[in-house]
Structure 1
Protein backbone atom coordinates (compact mmCIF):
# COMPACT_ATOMS: atom_id res chain seq x y z
CA UNK A 1 0.00 0.00 0.00
CA UNK A 2 2.86 2.34 0.85
CA UNK A 3 4.42 1.62 -2.53
CA UNK A 4 1.16 2.49 -4.25
CA UNK A 5 0.92 5.72 -2.25
CA UNK A 6 4.46 6.69 -3.21
CA UNK A 7 3.66 5.95 -6.85
CA UNK A 8 0.63 8.23 -6.74
CA UNK A 9 2.68 10.98 -5.14
CA UNK A 10 5.40 10.58 -7.75
CA UNK A 11 2.81 10.75 -10.52
CA UNK A 12 1.42 13.99 -9.14
CA UNK A 13 4.87 15.53 -8.90
CA UNK A 14 5.63 14.46 -12.46
CA UNK A 15 2.37 16.01 -13.70
CA UNK A 16 3.17 19.25 -11.87
CA UNK A 17 6.63 19.34 -13.43
CA UNK A 18 5.21 18.78 -16.90
CA UNK A 19 2.73 21.60 -16.32
CA UNK A 20 5.54 23.93 -15.29
CA UNK A 21 7.54 23.00 -18.36
CA UNK A 22 4.53 23.65 -20.58
CA UNK A 23 3.99 27.03 -18.92
CA UNK A 24 7.68 27.84 -19.39
CA UNK A 25 7.31 27.16 -23.12
CA UNK A 26 4.22 29.33 -23.31
CA UNK A 27 5.93 32.26 -21.60
CA UNK A 28 8.87 32.09 -24.00
CA UNK A 29 6.50 32.09 -26.96
CA UNK A 30 4.75 35.15 -25.50
CA UNK A 31 8.03 37.05 -25.49
CA UNK A 32 9.57 36.64 -22.05
CA UNK A 33 13.29 36.00 -21.95
CA UNK A 34 14.80 32.85 -20.46
CA UNK A 35 15.41 34.32 -17.00
CA UNK A 36 11.95 35.86 -16.72
CA UNK A 37 10.23 32.65 -17.81
CA UNK A 38 12.24 30.53 -15.36
CA UNK A 39 11.44 32.85 -12.45
CA UNK A 40 7.76 32.93 -13.42
CA UNK A 41 7.41 29.15 -13.10
CA UNK A 42 9.68 28.88 -10.05
CA UNK A 43 12.72 27.11 -11.48
CA UNK A 44 16.35 28.07 -11.90
CA UNK A 45 17.84 29.33 -15.14
CA UNK A 46 19.84 26.10 -15.31
CA UNK A 47 16.66 24.02 -15.23
CA UNK A 48 15.21 26.20 -17.97
CA UNK A 49 18.33 25.59 -20.03
CA UNK A 50 17.93 21.84 -19.55
CA UNK A 51 14.33 22.08 -20.76
CA UNK A 52 15.37 24.06 -23.83
CA UNK A 53 18.37 22.01 -24.88
CA UNK A 54 17.64 18.51 -23.60
CA UNK A 55 20.86 18.30 -21.62
CA UNK A 56 21.68 15.42 -19.29
CA UNK A 57 21.00 16.19 -15.64
CA UNK A 58 23.50 15.44 -12.89
CA UNK A 59 21.42 12.43 -11.85
CA UNK A 60 22.06 10.83 -15.25
CA UNK A 61 18.50 11.27 -16.52
CA UNK A 62 18.12 12.77 -19.97
CA UNK A 63 15.66 15.62 -20.45
CA UNK A 64 14.16 16.00 -23.90
CA UNK A 65 14.20 19.48 -25.43
CA UNK A 66 10.77 21.05 -25.23
CA UNK A 67 11.18 24.57 -26.56
CA UNK A 68 11.27 25.71 -30.17
CA UNK A 69 12.75 29.02 -29.19
CA UNK A 70 13.68 31.73 -31.67
CA UNK A 71 17.11 33.27 -32.17
CA UNK A 72 16.18 36.92 -31.88
CA UNK A 73 17.95 39.27 -29.51
CA UNK A 74 16.13 39.91 -26.26
CA UNK A 75 14.92 43.46 -26.10
CA UNK A 76 16.17 45.64 -23.27
CA UNK A 77 13.07 46.74 -21.36
CA UNK A 78 14.70 50.12 -20.62
CA UNK A 79 15.13 50.98 -24.29
CA UNK A 80 12.92 53.79 -25.57
CA UNK A 81 11.27 52.76 -28.82
CA UNK A 82 10.72 55.55 -31.40
CA UNK A 83 7.07 56.33 -32.09
CA UNK A 84 7.34 55.15 -35.68
CA UNK A 85 7.60 51.58 -34.35
CA UNK A 86 4.69 49.73 -32.78
CA UNK A 87 4.77 49.66 -28.99
CA UNK A 88 4.03 46.61 -26.84
CA UNK A 89 0.68 48.16 -25.83
CA UNK A 90 -0.27 48.53 -29.49
CA UNK A 91 0.74 44.93 -30.16
CA UNK A 92 -1.40 43.70 -27.27
CA UNK A 93 -4.35 45.64 -28.70
CA UNK A 94 -3.64 44.19 -32.16
CA UNK A 95 -3.74 40.67 -30.67
CA UNK A 96 -6.99 41.31 -28.82
CA UNK A 97 -8.72 42.90 -31.80
CA UNK A 98 -7.43 40.26 -34.19
CA UNK A 99 -8.77 37.45 -31.98
CA UNK A 100 -12.14 39.20 -31.87
CA UNK A 101 -12.31 39.11 -35.67
CA UNK A 102 -11.53 42.78 -36.38
CA UNK A 103 -9.99 43.32 -39.81
CA UNK A 104 -6.56 44.85 -40.33
CA UNK A 105 -8.18 48.08 -41.53
CA UNK A 106 -10.40 48.18 -38.44
CA UNK A 107 -7.40 47.62 -36.16
CA UNK A 108 -5.47 50.34 -38.01
CA UNK A 109 -8.29 52.83 -37.47
CA UNK A 110 -8.36 52.06 -33.74
CA UNK A 111 -4.59 52.54 -33.43
CA UNK A 112 -4.26 55.48 -35.79
CA UNK A 113 -1.82 53.46 -37.90
CA UNK A 114 -1.85 52.57 -41.57
CA UNK A 115 -3.55 49.33 -42.62
CA UNK A 116 -0.34 48.18 -44.29
CA UNK A 117 1.53 48.52 -40.97
CA UNK A 118 -0.98 46.29 -39.17
CA UNK A 119 -1.14 43.75 -42.01
CA UNK A 120 2.65 43.52 -42.14
CA UNK A 121 2.81 43.13 -38.36
CA UNK A 122 0.34 40.24 -38.35
CA UNK A 123 2.08 38.56 -41.27
CA UNK A 124 5.74 38.94 -40.26
CA UNK A 125 5.35 38.10 -36.58
CA UNK A 126 2.88 35.23 -36.79
CA UNK A 127 3.93 32.17 -34.83
CA UNK A 128 5.36 29.54 -37.23
CA UNK A 129 3.58 26.65 -35.48
CA UNK A 130 -0.03 27.79 -35.73
CA UNK A 131 0.01 31.21 -37.38
CA UNK A 132 -1.29 32.87 -34.21
CA UNK A 133 -0.18 36.34 -33.17
CA UNK A 134 1.43 36.60 -29.74
CA UNK A 135 2.19 40.24 -28.85
CA UNK A 136 5.17 39.76 -26.51
CA UNK A 137 6.90 37.36 -28.86
CA UNK A 138 6.15 39.74 -31.76
CA UNK A 139 7.69 42.61 -29.81
CA UNK A 140 10.88 40.63 -29.22
CA UNK A 141 11.12 39.58 -32.86
CA UNK A 142 10.60 43.14 -34.05
CA UNK A 143 13.31 44.36 -31.68
CA UNK A 144 15.72 41.73 -33.00
CA UNK A 145 15.18 42.98 -36.56
CA UNK A 146 15.55 46.63 -35.69
CA UNK A 147 18.87 48.06 -36.92
CA UNK A 148 21.33 48.98 -34.19
CA UNK A 149 23.29 52.24 -34.54
CA UNK A 150 26.83 51.65 -35.70
CA UNK A 151 29.70 52.80 -33.59
CA UNK A 152 31.22 56.00 -34.87
CA UNK A 153 34.56 55.53 -36.55
CA UNK A 154 35.91 58.99 -35.77
CA UNK A 155 35.41 59.16 -32.01
CA UNK A 156 37.38 60.77 -29.17
CA UNK A 157 40.25 58.76 -27.79
CA UNK A 158 41.22 57.12 -31.09
CA UNK A 159 44.29 57.82 -33.21
CA UNK A 160 42.05 58.53 -36.17
CA UNK A 161 40.17 61.21 -34.24
CA UNK A 162 43.44 62.86 -33.18
CA UNK A 163 44.77 62.81 -36.77
CA UNK A 164 41.61 64.31 -38.24
CA UNK A 165 41.47 67.02 -35.57
CA UNK A 166 45.13 67.89 -36.15
CA UNK A 167 44.55 68.08 -39.92
CA UNK A 168 41.56 70.38 -39.51
CA UNK A 169 43.62 72.67 -37.28
CA UNK A 170 46.10 72.92 -40.15
CA UNK A 171 43.19 73.95 -42.39
CA UNK A 172 43.37 70.77 -44.46
CA UNK A 173 40.14 69.92 -46.23
CA UNK A 174 38.40 66.58 -45.47
CA UNK A 175 39.47 65.39 -48.94
CA UNK A 176 43.13 66.21 -48.16
CA UNK A 177 42.93 64.44 -44.80
CA UNK A 178 41.39 61.34 -46.36
CA UNK A 179 44.10 61.16 -49.05
CA UNK A 180 46.93 61.72 -46.56
CA UNK A 181 45.62 58.91 -44.35
CA UNK A 182 45.91 56.47 -47.26
CA UNK A 183 49.47 57.57 -48.03
CA UNK A 184 50.74 57.68 -44.45
CA UNK A 185 48.98 54.54 -43.19
CA UNK A 186 48.79 52.23 -46.20
CA UNK A 187 48.46 49.04 -44.13
CA UNK A 188 46.28 50.28 -41.26
CA UNK A 189 42.57 49.92 -41.91
CA UNK A 190 41.77 51.63 -38.62
CA UNK A 191 43.31 54.82 -40.00
CA UNK A 192 40.86 55.18 -42.87
CA UNK A 193 38.09 57.73 -43.32
CA UNK A 194 36.54 58.99 -46.52
CA UNK A 195 35.85 62.70 -46.78
CA UNK A 196 32.09 62.16 -46.27
CA UNK A 197 32.80 60.49 -42.90
CA UNK A 198 35.00 63.41 -41.88
CA UNK A 199 32.32 65.92 -42.87
CA UNK A 200 29.80 63.98 -40.76
CA UNK A 201 32.18 63.97 -37.79
CA UNK A 202 32.48 67.76 -38.01
CA UNK A 203 28.91 68.79 -38.77
CA UNK A 204 26.55 65.88 -38.04
CA UNK A 205 27.79 63.97 -35.01
CA UNK A 206 26.07 64.98 -31.76
CA UNK A 207 27.26 67.99 -29.80
CA UNK A 208 29.71 69.00 -32.53
CA UNK A 209 32.59 67.85 -30.29
CA UNK A 210 35.12 67.72 -33.12
CA UNK A 211 34.05 71.10 -34.50
CA UNK A 212 34.51 72.70 -31.06
CA UNK A 213 38.01 71.28 -30.79
CA UNK A 214 39.14 72.81 -34.09
Structure 2
Protein backbone atom coordinates (compact mmCIF):
# COMPACT_ATOMS: atom_id res chain seq x y z
CA UNK A 1 0.00 0.00 0.00
CA UNK A 2 1.45 3.32 -1.00
CA UNK A 3 1.57 6.25 1.37
CA UNK A 4 -0.67 9.25 0.68
CA UNK A 5 1.06 12.01 -1.24
CA UNK A 6 2.90 14.45 1.01
CA UNK A 7 2.74 12.36 4.19
CA UNK A 8 6.23 11.98 5.66
CA UNK A 9 7.70 8.56 6.19
CA UNK A 10 8.90 9.45 9.70
CA UNK A 11 8.22 12.22 12.22
CA UNK A 12 9.84 15.51 11.38
CA UNK A 13 12.35 17.32 13.61
CA UNK A 14 11.21 18.62 16.98
CA UNK A 15 10.31 22.32 17.08
CA UNK A 16 13.30 24.51 17.87
CA UNK A 17 11.64 25.95 21.00
CA UNK A 18 11.21 22.44 22.42
CA UNK A 19 14.86 21.72 21.74
CA UNK A 20 15.93 24.87 23.54
CA UNK A 21 13.80 24.02 26.59
CA UNK A 22 15.20 20.50 26.73
CA UNK A 23 18.72 21.84 26.29
CA UNK A 24 18.24 24.18 29.27
CA UNK A 25 16.94 21.35 31.43
CA UNK A 26 19.93 19.15 30.60
CA UNK A 27 22.37 21.97 31.31
CA UNK A 28 20.70 22.67 34.67
CA UNK A 29 21.34 19.02 35.58
CA UNK A 30 25.06 19.57 35.11
CA UNK A 31 25.46 18.11 31.64
CA UNK A 32 28.17 19.58 29.44
CA UNK A 33 27.32 21.66 26.38
CA UNK A 34 28.54 18.97 23.98
CA UNK A 35 26.59 16.19 25.70
CA UNK A 36 23.39 18.28 25.96
CA UNK A 37 23.59 19.22 22.28
CA UNK A 38 24.13 15.59 21.35
CA UNK A 39 21.02 14.59 23.31
CA UNK A 40 18.91 17.36 21.78
CA UNK A 41 20.25 16.84 18.26
CA UNK A 42 21.89 20.19 17.53
CA UNK A 43 25.42 21.33 16.80
CA UNK A 44 27.50 22.29 19.88
CA UNK A 45 27.92 25.78 18.38
CA UNK A 46 24.13 26.16 18.46
CA UNK A 47 24.06 25.36 22.16
CA UNK A 48 26.83 27.84 22.80
CA UNK A 49 24.88 30.58 20.96
CA UNK A 50 21.71 29.73 22.88
CA UNK A 51 23.52 30.19 26.18
CA UNK A 52 25.67 33.23 25.40
CA UNK A 53 24.05 34.87 22.40
CA UNK A 54 26.01 36.01 19.36
CA UNK A 55 26.86 39.05 17.27
CA UNK A 56 26.57 39.02 13.48
CA UNK A 57 28.22 41.68 11.28
CA UNK A 58 26.55 42.23 7.92
CA UNK A 59 28.28 43.36 4.74
CA UNK A 60 27.68 47.01 5.58
CA UNK A 61 29.58 46.60 8.84
CA UNK A 62 26.47 46.83 11.05
CA UNK A 63 26.34 44.57 14.09
CA UNK A 64 23.20 42.65 15.01
CA UNK A 65 23.16 41.23 18.52
CA UNK A 66 21.22 38.05 19.30
CA UNK A 67 20.70 37.91 23.05
CA UNK A 68 21.02 34.64 25.01
CA UNK A 69 17.87 32.53 25.28
CA UNK A 70 15.46 33.68 27.99
CA UNK A 71 16.37 32.73 31.52
CA UNK A 72 12.73 32.96 32.68
CA UNK A 73 9.74 30.81 31.87
CA UNK A 74 6.73 32.20 30.08
CA UNK A 75 4.74 32.25 33.34
CA UNK A 76 7.27 34.69 34.82
CA UNK A 77 8.87 32.20 37.18
CA UNK A 78 12.57 31.53 37.39
CA UNK A 79 14.04 28.93 35.08
CA UNK A 80 14.73 25.54 36.62
CA UNK A 81 18.40 25.92 35.82
CA UNK A 82 18.63 28.32 38.79
CA UNK A 83 18.47 27.14 42.40
CA UNK A 84 15.16 27.95 44.08
CA UNK A 85 14.63 29.23 47.61
CA UNK A 86 13.31 25.80 48.67
CA UNK A 87 16.50 24.19 47.37
CA UNK A 88 18.62 26.70 49.29
CA UNK A 89 16.71 25.88 52.48
CA UNK A 90 17.36 22.18 51.85
CA UNK A 91 21.07 22.89 51.30
CA UNK A 92 21.30 24.71 54.64
CA UNK A 93 19.49 21.88 56.46
CA UNK A 94 21.72 19.20 54.89
CA UNK A 95 24.88 21.16 55.69
CA UNK A 96 23.82 21.37 59.35
CA UNK A 97 23.19 17.63 59.26
CA UNK A 98 26.80 17.07 58.21
CA UNK A 99 26.13 16.03 54.63
CA UNK A 100 28.94 16.42 52.09
CA UNK A 101 28.49 18.61 49.03
CA UNK A 102 28.31 15.54 46.82
CA UNK A 103 25.72 14.02 49.10
CA UNK A 104 23.64 17.20 48.94
CA UNK A 105 23.93 17.19 45.15
CA UNK A 106 22.58 13.63 45.03
CA UNK A 107 19.71 14.56 47.33
CA UNK A 108 18.67 17.52 45.15
CA UNK A 109 19.45 15.97 41.77
CA UNK A 110 21.99 18.67 41.00
CA UNK A 111 25.57 18.63 39.78
CA UNK A 112 28.14 18.71 42.66
CA UNK A 113 29.79 21.73 41.05
CA UNK A 114 26.48 23.63 41.28
CA UNK A 115 26.24 23.00 45.03
CA UNK A 116 29.92 23.78 45.61
CA UNK A 117 29.65 27.06 43.70
CA UNK A 118 26.45 28.00 45.54
CA UNK A 119 27.97 27.49 48.98
CA UNK A 120 31.21 29.25 48.04
CA UNK A 121 29.60 32.31 46.45
CA UNK A 122 26.61 32.86 48.71
CA UNK A 123 27.85 32.06 52.22
CA UNK A 124 28.00 34.98 54.61
CA UNK A 125 31.30 36.86 54.07
CA UNK A 126 31.94 37.42 57.81
CA UNK A 127 30.76 34.21 59.43
CA UNK A 128 31.36 31.90 56.51
CA UNK A 129 28.06 30.14 57.27
CA UNK A 130 25.43 29.38 54.70
CA UNK A 131 22.06 31.07 55.39
CA UNK A 132 19.41 30.23 52.76
CA UNK A 133 17.51 33.54 52.77
CA UNK A 134 20.72 35.58 52.68
CA UNK A 135 21.95 33.36 49.82
CA UNK A 136 18.68 33.87 47.95
CA UNK A 137 19.04 37.63 48.30
CA UNK A 138 22.65 37.62 47.07
CA UNK A 139 21.71 35.48 44.07
CA UNK A 140 18.85 37.82 43.15
CA UNK A 141 21.10 40.88 43.33
CA UNK A 142 23.78 39.19 41.24
CA UNK A 143 21.24 38.13 38.62
CA UNK A 144 19.85 41.66 38.33
CA UNK A 145 23.16 43.44 37.91
CA UNK A 146 24.47 44.69 34.59
CA UNK A 147 25.51 41.99 32.13
CA UNK A 148 27.77 44.36 30.20
CA UNK A 149 30.83 43.02 32.00
CA UNK A 150 33.72 44.71 33.75
CA UNK A 151 35.54 45.76 30.62
CA UNK A 152 32.62 47.55 28.95
CA UNK A 153 31.74 49.34 32.21
CA UNK A 154 35.31 50.62 32.72
CA UNK A 155 36.46 52.83 29.78
CA UNK A 156 40.03 53.18 31.09
CA UNK A 157 40.40 49.43 31.52
CA UNK A 158 38.87 48.81 28.11
CA UNK A 159 41.29 51.27 26.46
CA UNK A 160 44.27 49.65 28.20
CA UNK A 161 43.30 46.17 27.00
CA UNK A 162 42.40 47.30 23.47
CA UNK A 163 45.76 49.06 23.08
CA UNK A 164 47.64 45.87 23.89
CA UNK A 165 45.41 43.76 21.69
CA UNK A 166 46.31 46.16 18.88
CA UNK A 167 49.98 45.53 19.73
CA UNK A 168 49.28 41.79 19.29
CA UNK A 169 49.56 40.85 22.98
CA UNK A 170 47.75 37.69 23.96
CA UNK A 171 44.92 37.86 26.58
CA UNK A 172 47.11 35.97 29.04
CA UNK A 173 49.95 38.48 28.64
CA UNK A 174 47.46 41.32 29.17
CA UNK A 175 45.98 39.61 32.22
CA UNK A 176 49.41 39.44 33.80
CA UNK A 177 50.24 43.06 32.92
CA UNK A 178 47.04 44.34 34.56
CA UNK A 179 48.42 43.41 37.99
CA UNK A 180 51.41 45.69 37.48
CA UNK A 181 49.44 48.48 35.79
CA UNK A 182 46.76 48.61 38.54
CA UNK A 183 48.46 47.15 41.64
CA UNK A 184 45.97 48.60 44.15
CA UNK A 185 42.79 48.02 42.12
CA UNK A 186 41.97 44.34 42.42
CA UNK A 187 38.68 44.82 40.57
CA UNK A 188 40.75 45.48 37.43
CA UNK A 189 42.72 42.23 37.74
CA UNK A 190 41.08 40.01 35.14
CA UNK A 191 41.54 36.39 34.18
CA UNK A 192 42.59 35.88 30.58
CA UNK A 193 39.31 34.02 29.93
CA UNK A 194 37.43 37.25 30.78
CA UNK A 195 39.37 39.04 28.04
CA UNK A 196 38.71 36.24 25.56
CA UNK A 197 34.98 36.47 26.27
CA UNK A 198 35.04 40.26 25.91
CA UNK A 199 36.63 39.80 22.48
CA UNK A 200 34.30 37.08 21.21
CA UNK A 201 31.11 38.43 22.84
CA UNK A 202 31.28 42.03 21.69
CA UNK A 203 27.86 42.94 23.11
CA UNK A 204 29.31 42.20 26.57
CA UNK A 205 32.93 43.30 26.33
CA UNK A 206 32.99 45.86 23.55
CA UNK A 207 36.52 44.95 22.39
CA UNK A 208 37.32 45.15 18.69
CA UNK A 209 39.12 42.07 17.42
CA UNK A 210 39.24 43.36 13.83
CA UNK A 211 41.69 46.20 14.45
CA UNK A 212 44.32 43.86 15.89
CA UNK A 213 44.49 41.43 18.74
CA UNK A 214 43.95 37.71 18.52
CA UNK A 215 46.36 36.22 16.05
CA UNK A 216 43.90 33.57 14.81
CA UNK A 217 41.55 36.23 13.44
CA UNK A 218 38.58 33.93 14.09
CA UNK A 219 35.09 35.41 14.36
CA UNK A 220 34.03 32.71 16.85
CA UNK A 221 35.71 30.20 19.12
CA UNK A 222 36.06 26.67 17.93
CA UNK A 223 37.15 23.44 19.63
CA UNK A 224 40.64 22.11 19.22
CA UNK A 225 41.23 19.66 16.44
CA UNK A 226 44.00 17.30 15.50
CA UNK A 227 46.84 18.91 13.60
CA UNK A 228 47.05 17.99 9.94
CA UNK A 229 49.54 15.25 9.32
CA UNK A 230 52.03 15.40 6.49
CA UNK A 231 54.14 12.74 4.87
CA UNK A 232 57.88 12.53 5.35
CA UNK A 233 59.79 14.12 2.45
CA UNK A 234 63.28 13.67 3.86
CA UNK A 235 64.92 10.59 2.40
CA UNK A 236 67.90 10.40 4.78
CA UNK A 237 66.62 11.44 8.22
CA UNK A 238 70.12 11.84 9.62
CA UNK A 239 70.17 11.72 13.41
CA UNK A 240 66.67 11.36 14.84
CA UNK A 241 65.48 13.21 17.91
CA UNK A 242 65.40 9.96 19.88
CA UNK A 243 69.22 9.99 19.70
CA UNK A 244 69.47 13.54 20.95
CA UNK A 245 71.29 13.81 24.33
CA UNK A 246 68.96 13.88 27.31
CA UNK A 247 70.40 17.13 28.69
CA UNK A 248 68.91 19.01 25.71
CA UNK A 249 65.38 18.02 26.73
CA UNK A 250 65.45 19.72 30.13
CA UNK A 251 65.96 23.20 28.52
CA UNK A 252 68.48 24.22 31.17
CA UNK A 253 71.36 24.81 28.78
CA UNK A 254 71.02 27.62 26.19
CA UNK A 255 72.19 27.28 22.62
CA UNK A 256 69.93 24.43 21.54
CA UNK A 257 67.73 25.71 18.72
CA UNK A 258 64.58 24.55 16.94
CA UNK A 259 64.01 25.53 13.32
CA UNK A 260 61.55 25.38 10.45
CA UNK A 261 60.22 27.33 7.45
CA UNK A 262 56.97 29.24 7.09
CA UNK A 263 55.84 29.27 3.47
CA UNK A 264 54.28 32.02 1.40
CA UNK A 265 51.81 32.06 -1.47
CA UNK A 266 51.94 28.92 -3.56
CA UNK A 267 54.87 27.64 -1.47
CA UNK A 268 57.15 29.74 -3.68
CA UNK A 269 58.67 31.91 -0.92
CA UNK A 270 59.69 31.24 2.66
CA UNK A 271 61.12 32.65 5.88
CA UNK A 272 63.32 30.55 8.13
CA UNK A 273 62.55 30.57 11.86
CA UNK A 274 64.89 29.70 14.73
CA UNK A 275 63.94 29.59 18.43
CA UNK A 276 66.29 28.97 21.34
CA UNK A 277 64.74 26.26 23.53
CA UNK A 278 65.82 27.91 26.80
CA UNK A 279 65.21 31.65 26.31
CA UNK A 280 62.61 31.39 23.48
CA UNK A 281 64.69 33.98 21.60
CA UNK A 282 63.68 34.06 17.93
CA UNK A 283 65.84 34.67 14.86
CA UNK A 284 64.35 34.97 11.37
CA UNK A 285 66.24 33.81 8.27
CA UNK A 286 65.99 36.01 5.18
CA UNK A 287 65.71 33.80 2.07
CA UNK A 288 65.35 36.25 -0.85
CA UNK A 289 66.70 33.86 -3.50
CA UNK A 290 64.59 30.80 -2.64
CA UNK A 291 64.12 28.02 -0.11
CA UNK A 292 66.25 25.28 -1.61
CA UNK A 293 68.58 23.24 0.57
CA UNK A 294 71.53 25.34 -0.59
CA UNK A 295 69.85 28.62 0.36
CA UNK A 296 68.75 27.33 3.77
CA UNK A 297 72.22 25.89 4.46
CA UNK A 298 73.93 29.18 3.65
CA UNK A 299 71.48 31.23 5.72
CA UNK A 300 71.96 28.95 8.74
CA UNK A 301 75.75 29.06 8.46
CA UNK A 302 75.62 32.87 8.32
CA UNK A 303 73.39 33.17 11.42
CA UNK A 304 75.28 30.73 13.60
CA UNK A 305 78.65 32.23 12.62
CA UNK A 306 77.66 35.37 14.57
CA UNK A 307 76.86 33.46 17.80
CA UNK A 308 79.30 32.43 20.55
CA UNK A 309 79.91 28.66 20.64
CA UNK A 310 78.09 28.47 24.00
CA UNK A 311 74.92 29.70 22.26
CA UNK A 312 75.23 27.47 19.17
CA UNK A 313 75.20 23.90 20.45
CA UNK A 314 72.57 22.02 18.39
CA UNK A 315 69.71 22.39 15.94
CA UNK A 316 66.46 20.40 15.76
CA UNK A 317 64.48 20.52 12.50
CA UNK A 318 61.53 18.95 10.75
CA UNK A 319 62.11 16.29 8.07
CA UNK A 320 61.76 18.77 5.23
CA UNK A 321 63.74 18.56 2.01
CA UNK A 322 65.21 22.02 2.71
CA UNK A 323 67.55 20.34 5.21
CA UNK A 324 68.88 17.67 2.87
CA UNK A 325 72.33 19.33 3.12
CA UNK A 326 72.40 19.14 6.91
CA UNK A 327 75.69 17.25 6.82
CA UNK A 328 77.34 20.17 4.98
CA UNK A 329 75.98 22.60 7.57
CA UNK A 330 77.38 20.45 10.40
CA UNK A 331 80.81 20.25 8.76
CA UNK A 332 80.89 24.03 8.32
CA UNK A 333 79.78 24.92 11.86
CA UNK A 334 80.37 21.87 14.05
CA UNK A 335 76.70 22.02 15.12
CA UNK A 336 74.82 18.69 15.09
CA UNK A 337 71.34 18.53 13.54
CA UNK A 338 68.56 16.34 14.95
CA UNK A 339 65.36 15.53 13.08
CA UNK A 340 61.83 15.05 14.43
CA UNK A 341 59.94 11.86 13.73
CA UNK A 342 57.56 12.00 10.74
CA UNK A 343 54.27 13.84 11.41
CA UNK A 344 55.48 14.92 14.87
CA UNK A 345 55.75 18.74 14.86
CA UNK A 346 55.07 18.77 18.61
CA UNK A 347 58.65 17.52 19.10
CA UNK A 348 59.78 21.06 18.33
CA UNK A 349 56.93 22.75 20.13
CA UNK A 350 58.63 26.08 20.84
CA UNK A 351 59.22 26.60 17.13
CA UNK A 352 55.69 25.54 16.19
CA UNK A 353 54.28 28.04 18.67
CA UNK A 354 56.49 30.79 17.29
CA UNK A 355 55.44 29.98 13.71
CA UNK A 356 51.83 30.49 14.79
CA UNK A 357 52.70 33.89 16.24
CA UNK A 358 54.50 34.86 13.05
CA UNK A 359 51.37 34.25 10.98
CA UNK A 360 49.98 37.38 12.59
CA UNK A 361 52.67 39.31 10.74
CA UNK A 362 52.90 37.11 7.66
CA UNK A 363 49.40 35.70 6.93
CA UNK A 364 49.04 32.59 4.82
CA UNK A 365 48.89 33.43 1.14
CA UNK A 366 51.36 36.31 1.47
CA UNK A 367 54.31 36.66 -0.90
CA UNK A 368 57.14 36.47 1.66
CA UNK A 369 59.77 37.53 -0.87
CA UNK A 370 58.48 41.11 -0.53
CA UNK A 371 59.94 41.41 2.99
CA UNK A 372 63.49 42.64 3.45
CA UNK A 373 65.99 41.52 6.07
CA UNK A 374 65.24 44.76 7.95
CA UNK A 375 61.52 43.93 8.01
CA UNK A 376 62.28 40.52 9.52
CA UNK A 377 64.55 42.08 12.13
CA UNK A 378 61.75 44.43 13.23
CA UNK A 379 59.29 41.55 13.63
CA UNK A 380 61.82 39.43 15.54
CA UNK A 381 62.58 42.34 17.87
CA UNK A 382 58.88 42.86 18.63
CA UNK A 383 58.41 39.18 19.45
CA UNK A 384 61.54 39.09 21.60
CA UNK A 385 60.33 42.10 23.59
CA UNK A 386 57.08 40.45 24.67
CA UNK A 387 56.85 39.09 28.24
CA UNK A 388 56.37 35.32 28.29
CA UNK A 389 54.59 33.29 30.93
CA UNK A 390 56.97 30.35 30.39
CA UNK A 391 59.85 32.70 31.29
CA UNK A 392 58.17 33.92 34.50
CA UNK A 393 57.12 37.03 32.55
CA UNK A 394 60.63 38.01 31.50
CA UNK A 395 61.23 38.72 27.82
CA UNK A 396 63.41 36.58 25.53
CA UNK A 397 65.49 39.66 24.68
CA UNK A 398 66.32 40.25 28.35
CA UNK A 399 67.40 36.66 28.98
CA UNK A 400 69.38 36.34 25.77
CA UNK A 401 71.06 39.70 26.40
CA UNK A 402 72.17 38.56 29.85
CA UNK A 403 73.68 35.43 28.35
CA UNK A 404 75.58 37.43 25.75
CA UNK A 405 76.87 39.77 28.48
CA UNK A 406 78.17 36.90 30.62
CA UNK A 407 80.03 35.41 27.67
Establish whether TM, by shorter chain, passes 0.5. no
* Bigger strand fraction: 2
TM-score of the superposed pair, with normalisation by structure 1: 0.32
TM-score of the superposed pair, with normalisation by structure 2: 0.17
Q: Which has the higher contact order (CA 8 A, sep 6+)?
A: 1
